[in-house]
Amino acid sequence: MTRRRWTMFALVLLVPALAVGAQRFSRTAPGEHPNPNAEYDGRFTFIRVKFTPLNTGWDLKWDHDYPVAETHLLKIMEEVSTVRSHLPETSIYGFSDAELFKYPVAYVSEPGFWTMNEAELAGIRAYVNKGGFIIFDDFSSRHWINFEDKWRRAFPNLALVKLDITHPIFDAFYRIKTLDMTHPYFGLTSEFWGAYEDNDPSKRLVMIANYNNDIGDYMEWSDSNLLPVPLTNEAYKLAVNYVVYALTH
């Protein structure tokens, strides 16, 4: 093989590796969660859901972008809305934790690696039935298979529905003008999926899934020059809308 061909071959291997490496670079060490859970006081608290990841070794998956993404979001919400946020602490709970039921919004990162035991299955069902809203984020491509499998296991009768710009969640605070987004590293076209209470579109949305997207990463790195500012802004708009929608429905 000529030197030119070797160079091209090396670049083909290197580009995806750089993309994955950039996505997984974190400001905290893997598994490091230095902040204690926030003490409940009625203010809005960002809740991240922990789970045992599917065959990933040291990478917990659910902690990607922690804690910078959520603290950035809470600061934005304090500035632009009347929602009083619990800063600087956020919280981490599993779906089986009773404390989770004090909080109306839960965030699940990397549902492509999501698993649930029987207690967590019972917990997520009770959480949604009691009015909880779940944000699924940071998954793409074939990771949909595991996400869909776990969702159907928990809620076999709640259909997954692709959402378009007309849904009220995209006008809950900011008027989102377009859903044309891409995954920050893989260039995949983003899609937004939800599920309705009783499968009735006139009732509340109980979850939203940012497929082929990673708004957590957009928010984490919004104070750097790693990602385009227009897209990090759109990520914040979506996240704020999700929270406001959940708090008002």
User: Tens of pLDDT along 187-228?
Assistant: 899 999 999 999 999 999 999 999 999 999 999 999 988 888
The pLDDT of residue 173: 98
What DSSP string runs through 112-172?
A: GG----HHHHHHHHHHHHTT-EEEEEEE-TTHHHHHHHHHHHH-TTS--EE--TTSGGGGS
Q: Which residues of the chain have pLDDT under 50?
A: 1-24
pLDDT attached to residue 157:
97
According to the model, what pLDDT value does residue 84 have?
93
| Of residues 164, 82, 172, the one with CA closest to residue 133 | 172
The 10 Å Cβ neighbour count of residue 30 is 13
Range of the domain at 113: 41-248
> Do the domain assignments include residue 10?
no
Where on the phi/psi map is residue 131: left (φ > 0), alpha (ψ -120 to 50), or beta?
Answer: left
The enclosing domain of 235 has a CATH number of: 3.40.50.12140
Predicted model pTM: 0.88
Distance CA 181, CA 86 (A): 29
Domain membership flag for residue 24: no
Question: Do the domain assignments include residue 87?
Answer: yes
Q: Is residue 33 part of a domain?
A: no
Domain assignment present for 16: no
**In which residue are the tokens 């994955």 written?**
20
15 located within any domain: no
Structural domain total, the chain: 1
**DSSP β-bridge partners for residue 194:** 161, 208
Asked if residue 13 is part of any domain, the answer here is no
Nearest to 238 by CA among 190, 196, 198, 201: 190
For residue 218, report the phi and psi dihedrals to the nearest 5 degrees.
-60, -40
Task: Please choose, from the candidates 156, 162, 100, the residue with its C-alpha nearest in 3D space to the C-alpha of residue 131.
Answer: 100
Q: Residue 165 in 3-state DSSP?
A: coil
Residue 29 falls within a domain, yes or no?
Answer: no
pLDDT of residue 228: 87
Do the beta carbons of residue 207 and residue 134 sit within 8 Å? yes
